[in-house]
Amino acid sequence: MTTEKKLKIAHFTDPLCFWCYAMEPEVRKIRVLLGDQLEYRIVMGVLSSDVHEIIGYGEHAELRYELYRAMLANYFKEAEKMVGMPLALDGMLTHGPEDLVSLPLSLAYCAMLMIDEGVAEAYLRRMRERVFAEGRSLSSVEEQVELAREFPIDVEQFRANLEGDEVAAVLQQGVDECKRYGIAAFPTLLMQWGDMRMAVNGYRSYDELKLAIAQVTDGDISLSEAEFSTHALETYVDRFGKAAAREIQTMFSLNDAQLANVMMDLVSTGRYKTQSCGTSYFAMPK
């Protein structure tokens, strides 16, 4: 018996990496289009483990943080124009320095991973929505536990995992894999097709990812555009449970007018609703 060859993608990521959140539309699209041809997994890294890595020490640390926050504000305003994902800039930039540290969120993902891999992926997405789209803090255990209550898991087990010793070892496995492959930036997609391997670093458009897949597979996989239908749209939203307008637009290659029309049609079915968030909105089942 022969096993069908699959494209393997290891997605090296971090919960607080803005460009990981920004590239979710493209990653979701290739996952949908590849279907059973894809073997996809998340490798959790750590973008920042100590606030002092960012603002330093001493009496001027607070001033350096304020300057850094002002720089972030300008950076996100420019990035927002290109990315199109929901962003709540006002909320994102009002928290303290501890909210710049991703280590607690990486550990929270691993605590959920110890319970269920699928739920952990959904929890990772909700962490990003909470931080970037809702502008809320997730730096404390209590905030992470509160978010975990949205999922059908034993919340006290999640808390125990988060506060226990094993979770650090689970995260270290991802950190070690990052080091093993020399991953220096997030997101990085490490693609493997048989003996061929290619690393795609940083934020990339769908067309760039499509080209990379064609290159690493030597043309064996050539992605085509998704055909739009109301059923296809509903299937997409149902699969992920919540989809940003930009994700739907990217998935079906829609212009702004087409997006507005299909979203009105989706809501008119009575089975879906939209939720304004930051600069844009999400669609989800009622």
Residue 10's pLDDT is 99
Domains of the chain: 7-180 (3.40.30.10), 230-285 (1.10.10.10)
* Structural contact between residues 206 and 239, judged by C-beta atoms closer than 8 angstroms: no
Residue 18's pLDDT is 92
Phi and psi at 205, nearest 5°, equal -75, 165
CA angle at 53 for the pair 51 and 58, rounded to the nearest 5°: 80
More confident site: 50 or 223 = 223
Rounded mean pLDDT, 181-200: 97
* pLDDT at 2 > cutoff 50: no
pLDDT above 90 coverage of the chain, percent: 78
Residue 3's pLDDT is 59
* pLDDT at 35 > cutoff 70: yes
Q: Which residues contact 200 (CB under 8 A, 6 or more apart)?
A: 188, 189, 190, 191, 208, 209, 212
CA angle at 100 for the pair 15 and 275, rounded to the nearest 5°: 55
At residue 137, the 3 state secondary structure works out as coil
Give which of 178, 42, 32, 9 is closest to 113, Cα–Cα: 42
At residue 272, the 3 state secondary structure works out as strand
Phi and psi at 89, nearest 5°, equal -60, -40
pLDDT in tens, 112-145: 999 999 999 999 999 999 999 999 999 999 999 9
* pLDDT at 69 > cutoff 80: no
Alpha-carbon distance 171 to 43, whole Å?
9
| Residue appearing with tokens 């048989």 | 194
Burial 72-94 (b: 16+ CB within 10 A, else e): beeebeebbeebbbbbbbebbee
Phi and psi at 284, nearest 5°, equal -160, 160
Residue 153's pLDDT is 98
| Residue appearing with tokens 């290619």 | 198
* Structural contact between residues 212 and 204, judged by C-beta atoms closer than 8 angstroms: yes
At residue 31, the 3 state secondary structure works out as helix
pLDDT in tens, 218-249: 999 999 999 999 999 999 999 999 999 999 99
